[in-house]
Amino acid sequence: QVEGAAYVGSFVWRTRPAGLWARPRGENMLDTGAPFYDTYRTADGQYVAVGAIEPQFYSALLKGLGLDPATMPPQMSVDDWPATKREFSRCFAQRSRADWCRVFEGMDACVTPVLTPEEVAGDAHAAVRGSFLRNADGTNVPAPAPRLSRTPARPGDGTAAADPVVGQHTESVLRELGYGEPEVQQLLADGVVESTGSKNKSHL
């Protein structure tokens, strides 16, 4: 996990020498320092995400917000970022998230809604892609990826078994490992293991 986390952060590590992370935390371009790379609260208490780094996307962002580029500081004027962010916050707070989605529909402004897990699972694109499966208990879970044609890791009917609760299979696993019934009951009584089928449960 340590190596995996380090590798996922390759971009951060490799761009440090270029000065992309030279400022204090929260003041750099990609850590919410830049007004064009952050999330903003909308009038209905929801949020939108903005990632308009390239000039053409930034121009579209200003257009969607109804801001005149001639009255705004240059995009990369770092000293003006706090003031620009306040202006963006003021603008986004005037409409609902749905309204902003309609404003930026079809515009290359890199403005997207911040969705809840329930909204993501119900998203039309996710539905077409089959990105989520519904558990037997009715909850949504991400579908396995990558999708392998010879050995697909997904049930044929599009549903998945409900996730087990802590202790659900404790006793059966112990018996499978060769523990006798007295030993299983003693482990439960001593609080060494937990089982949903026993009154002897540890507090996790």
Low-confidence ranges of the chain (pLDDT < 70): 154-160, 197-204
- Kindly list the domain boundaries of the chain, sorted by start residue: 1-27, 34-114, 118-160, 164-195
The model's pTM is 0.74
Looking at domain 34-114, its CATH superfamily turns out to be: formyl-coa transferase, domain 3 (3.30.1540.10)
Spatial separation of the C-alpha atoms in residues 190 and 177, rounded to whole Å: 19
Per-residue pLDDT tens digits for 165-197:
889 899 999 999 999 999 999 999 999 999 986
**CB-based contacts of 65-72 (< 8 A; 24+ apart in sequence):** 65/91, 65/92, 66/91, 67/91
